[in-house]
Amino acid sequence: MTQEEKQAARTRILKTAVSLFARKGYAAVGVREIAAQAEVNISMISYYFNGKVGILAEIVDEFWENYHRHIVKAMDRGETPEIKIHAITGAMVDYVRENKELALVAFHTMPLEIPEIANLKQKSLMKIMGSVQSLIASLGLDINDLQLFSIIGPAIMSLIVTHFRLRDFQAKVFDINFDDAFYERYKIIIATLLLEGVQGLARLPKSNTEKNA
Amino acid sequence: MTQEEKQAARTRILKTAVSLFARKGYAAVGVREIAAQAEVNISMISYYFNGKVGILAEIVDEFWENYHRHIVKAMDRGETPEIKIHAITGAMVDYVRENKELALVAFHTMPLEIPEIANLKQKSLMKIMGSVQSLIASLGLDINDLQLFSIIGPAIMSLIVTHFRLRDFQAKVFDINFDDAFYERYKIIIATLLLEGVQGLARLPKSNTEKNA
Amino acid sequence: MTQEEKQAARTRILKTAVSLFARKGYAAVGVREIAAQAEVNISMISYYFNGKVGILAEIVDEFWENYHRHIVKAMDRGETPEIKIHAITGAMVDYVRENKELALVAFHTMPLEIPEIANLKQKSLMKIMGSVQSLIASLGLDINDLQLFSIIGPAIMSLIVTHFRLRDFQAKVFDINFDDAFYERYKIIIATLLLEGVQGLARLPKSNTEKNA
Amino acid sequence: MTQEEKQAARTRILKTAVSLFARKGYAAVGVREIAAQAEVNISMISYYFNGKVGILAEIVDEFWENYHRHIVKAMDRGETPEIKIHAITGAMVDYVRENKELALVAFHTMPLEIPEIANLKQKSLMKIMGSVQSLIASLGLDINDLQLFSIIGPAIMSLIVTHFRLRDFQAKVFDINFDDAFYERYKIIIATLLLEGVQGLARLPKSNTEKNA
DNA sequence: AATGAATGAGCATTCATTCAT
DNA sequence: TATGAATGAATGCTCATTCAT
pLDDT tens, position by position, B31-55: 999 999 999 999 999 999 999 999 9
Cα–Cα dist B130/B136, whole Å: 10
Query: Which chain B residues are closer than 8 Å to A198 by Cβ?
Result: 193
DSSP code per residue over C114-169: -GGGHHHHHHHHHHHHHHHHHHHHHTT--TT-HHHHHHHHHHHHHHHHHHHHHHHH
Q: Do C163 and D151 touch (CB under 8 A)?
A: yes
Cα–Cα dist B129/B150, whole Å: 9
Do B78 and B108 sit in the same domain of this protein? yes
Helices (H) and strands (E) in chain A, counts: 10, 0
Do B1 and B84 sit in the same domain of this protein? no
By CB atoms closer than 10 A (0-12, 13-18, 19+), residue B47 is: middle
Do B87 and B150 sit in the same domain of this protein? yes
Task: Kindly state the DSSP code that residue A181 receives in the 8-state scheme.
Answer: H
How close A200 comes to chain B (CA, Å)?
5
What percent of chain A has a predicted confidence (pLDDT) above 90?
A: 54
Neighbours of chain C (3+ CB pairs under 8 A): D
pLDDT tens, position by position, D19-37: 999 999 999 999 999 999 9
Do D34 and D98 sit in the same domain of this protein? no
User: What is the pLDDT, as a whole number, of residue B1?
Assistant: 44
Least Cα distance to A131 among A83, A193, A66, A183 occurs for A66
Least Cα distance to C175 among D144, D154, D113 occurs for D144
CATH of the domain at D38: 1.10.10.60
pLDDT at B4 over 60: no
> Of the residues B28, B49, B70, which one is the last residue of a structural domain?
B49
Q: A99 by DSSP, 3-state: which?
A: coil
pLDDT tens, position by position, D47-105: 999 999 999 999 999 999 999 999 888 888 767 878 888 998 999 999 999 999 999 99
pLDDT at A78 over 80: no
Instruction: Confirm if C30 and C20 have CB atoms less than 8 A apart.
Output: no
Q: Do D189 and C209 touch (CB under 8 A)?
A: yes
User: What is the pLDDT, as a whole number, of residue C1?
Assistant: 38
pLDDT tens, position by position, D162-195: 899 888 888 887 788 899 999 999 999 999 998 8
Alpha helices (runs of H) in C25-99, residue ranges in sequence order: 31-38, 43-49, 52-77, 81-98
CB atoms within 10 A of CB A177: 11
Cα–Cα dist A200/C49, whole Å: 65
**Strand E proximity list, CB < 7 Å:** A 5-6, 9-10, 40-44, 47; B 29-33, 42-43, 45-46, 51-53; C 2, 29-33, 42-43, 45-46, 51-53; D 5-6, 9, 40-44, 47
Task: Kindly state the DSSP code that residue B2 receives in the 8-state scheme.
Answer: H
Do A112 and A20 sit in the same domain of this protein? no
Average pLDDT over residues B77-85: 80
Q: Do A165 and B154 touch (CB under 8 A)?
A: yes
Read off the pLDDT band of B78 (50, 70, 90).
low
Q: D112 by DSSP, 3-state: which?
A: coil
User: What is the pLDDT, as a whole number, of residue D213?
Assistant: 38
Helix %, strand %, coil % of chain A (to 5): 80, 0, 20
Q: Do A110 and B28 touch (CB under 8 A)?
A: no
Do A190 and A109 sit in the same domain of this protein? yes
> Of the residues A49, A67, A84, which one is the last residue of a structural domain?
A49
> Of the residues B34, B49, B64, which one is the last residue of a structural domain?
B49
Count of positions (residues) in chain C = 213
Of the partner residues D111, D163, D201, the one whose CB lies closest to the CB of residue C151: D163
Do B115 and B147 sit in the same domain of this protein? yes
Domain range enclosing B146: 56-211
User: What is the pLDDT, as a whole number, of residue A2?
Assistant: 47
pLDDT tens, position by position, B101-111: 999 999 999 99
Do C172 and C123 sit in the same domain of this protein? yes
A196: nearest CA partner in chain B: B197
Question: Between C173 and A200, whose confidence is greater?
Answer: A200
By CB atoms closer than 10 A (0-12, 13-18, 19+), residue B44 is: middle
pLDDT at D43 over 60: yes
Q: How many domains does chain B have?
A: 2
D167: nearest CA partner in chain C: C150
Cα–Cα dist A169/B135, whole Å: 21
Question: Between B79 and B176, whose confidence is greater?
Answer: B176
CATH of the domain at D62: 1.10.357.10
By CB atoms closer than 10 A (0-12, 13-18, 19+), residue D159 is: buried
User: What is the pLDDT, as a whole number, of residue D132?
Assistant: 83
Average pLDDT over residues A83-112: 93
- The per-residue pLDDT string of chain C (213 residues; one tens digit each, 9 = 90 and over) reads 344 555 689 999 999 999 999 999 999 999 999 999 999 999 999 999 999 999 999 999 999 999 999 988 888 876 787 888 899 899 999 999 999 999 999 999 999 999 999 999 999 988 888 888 887 887 778 878 888 888 888 888 888 888 998 888 788 778 888 999 999 999 999 999 989 998 888 888 755 555 443
- Report the nucleotide nearest the CA of residue B50, measured to C1': E17
Average pLDDT over residues A43-51: 96
- Report the nucleotide nearest the CA of residue C55, measured to C1': E12
Question: Between B212 and C181, whose confidence is greater?
Answer: C181
Give the residue with minimal CA–C1' separation from E15.
B30
**Selection from B9-23, B82-96, B186-200, D174-188 with the highest mean pLDDT:** B9-23
Burial readout D59-69 (b: 16 or more C-beta within 10 A, e: otherwise): bbbebbebbbe
Least Cα distance to D56 among D109, D128, D113, D95 occurs for D109
Do B136 and B175 sit in the same domain of this protein? yes
Query: Which chain C residues are closer than 8 Å to D189 by Cβ?
Result: 148, 151, 201, 209
Do D192 and D147 sit in the same domain of this protein? yes
User: What is the pLDDT, as a whole number, of residue B80?
Assistant: 82
Burial readout B174-199 (b: 16 or more C-beta within 10 A, e: otherwise): eebebeeebeebbbbbbbbbbbbbbb
**Cβ contact B–D (≥3 pairs, < 8 Å):** no
Average pLDDT over residues A58-70: 95
Do A31 and A60 sit in the same domain of this protein? no
CB atoms within 10 A of CB C203: 9
Q: B209 by DSSP, 3-state: which?
A: helix
Do B109 and B205 sit in the same domain of this protein? yes
User: What is the pLDDT, as a whole number, of residue C2?
Assistant: 45
User: What is the pLDDT, as a whole number, of residue C210?
Assistant: 52
pLDDT tens, position by position, D96-133: 999 999 999 999 999 999 999 999 999 998 888 888 88
Cα–Cα dist B113/B111, whole Å: 7
Query: Which chain D residues are closer than 8 Å to C154 by Cβ?
Result: 162-163, 165-166
Query: Which chain B residues are closer than 8 Å to A112 by Cβ?
Result: 23-25, 28
